[in-house]
Structure 1
Amino acid sequence: MTQLGERFREAREARGISISEASTATRILPRYLQAIEAGDVASLPGDVYARGFVRNYAQLLGLPAEEMVALYRKERGEPTAPIKIVPAAVPPRTRSCLIPSFFVTFFTVLLLLAAVYVVLNWTGMLTPPQTAEGSTPTAIPATPTTFPTPTDPPPDAIQSPLPPTPSPPQPTIDPLAPTPAPEIPTPDLSATPSAPVVVQAFVANDQTSQGSWFTVNADGVPAFNQLLRSGQSQTWSGQQEIFLNIGDISVVQLLLNGQNVAGFPGAVKGVPRRLTCTASGCN
């Protein structure tokens, strides 16, 4: 057994948790938890999943998660030093021999312009049209364009005034009509039903004990999963039932709806117990 597995096994046994209970709490298969405690890293899945299993198992047992992951990597034989990233060397840029120089580009453009000029001159597109001898161009007289001008009305004409714009009718207010009272919101007086199942746990102030581990489900929903130390207390409530898995009942006093539960605290130290509490009792 390796140091990693020994620390996990001692922490689990100190809290009175079995492999199956730890598997239910962490959702890790029992064979993987047994492989971690046995130091059989070859039976674990990939490295990413294995580190997640170690971290979750350590959090359940109250162990330092990062320290346990580092111990796992050390036993697996992986390097713990950070990986250094070295930038790749960039080769110097060389000028390609295919890039034309300025003079080659200039003379190429000049030759293209000369070729275009020769083609246009040969096709006659650059020669202005010639008129026949003795012919005189006929001038076309411009026709003036007339625009309508506004005429002033005769002085004796009477312009009809525009009809006045009717004003909107004003609402009439009866001074004798009663004024309606403002509406007052009615408060919601519906009562909220209280939880019928209330469980209280008290851990005795014992200097020789570290406390007791509690796993609690209220109405099938996980409500608590951690260690209650000496002098601490916790209360859970539910509508139907509350399931409790207590690691050491010798230091725990349990109350159901304010009444003591029989068998608590226990007479033998280190004895775990599972029970389900409803409104009628715990068993």
Structure 2
Amino acid sequence: MSIGNSPEDERPFEDPSEEANISIGRALQQARIAAGLTVDDVSTATRVRIAIVHAIESDDFAPCGGDVYARGHIRTLARAVHLDPAPLMEQYDAAHGGRPAPTPAAPLFEAERIRPERRGPNWTAAMVAAIVAVVGFVGFTAFKGDGGGSKEQVAEGSTPATSPTASPTPKTDKTVDEKPEPSDSAIAAAPQDKVTVQVSATDGRSWISAKDHNGRLLFDGLLKQGDSQTFQDSEKINLVLGDAGAIDLFVNGKKIEDDFQPGAVERLTYTKGDPQVG
């Protein structure tokens, strides 16, 4: 079938025996034709490649690149042709072993909580040790003076005891102040007169599209796990995430903590005043 064909030209032969057990691809194709849309129309609206749309309508999910991407494409195509995606997702899960559990993100957040907590106890322990040493020194000096010396000796012994107390305190405070706060991303010093967005594929791979405020395409491609891209514009950045559950977002130096689900397609807009969804 060529791209230019009208939906009526590709209308399949209706077999009444197939109505009771219609496949995912057949359901999407019939809904598209009923909506008066061509494969090219659906591809343009969803940004799913024409070859993948054809493959899914033929119930061939291998070109999707895995179950997560297949589920995302099925959901996106179903919404584009005004079809409820829930029955199709249940049918796909039944045929392919169920929906994968979104567990990989938990260790990442746990590591971020533990990392800052390890620094604090070290400095606290140092301060406690210094205070204990000073108190012990003062107590020892006072006890020694009471045993065989005069009151003047006790007073003289207490003077050097108070000096070390004042000395470590500013050093400790200065050291704590010099420790930088953990940065949410490598772009924490993003300029305030622009919007800066960093996209990192931390839990898998995902297709990414980014445009500036004029609609100019900044990036359109696949991010493999471990890859990242940074986009900057004077007003706003428009994003489309093919698998939002695999992505970590940093906007103007702050991490976006939205609970994106694996396989979910998200369309987001960020401006200079964010982080918040536009």
User: TM-score scaled by structure 2?
Assistant: 0.33
Larger radius of gyration: 1
Structure with the higher fraction of residues in helix conformation? 2
TM-score between the two structures when normalised by the length of structure 1:
0.32
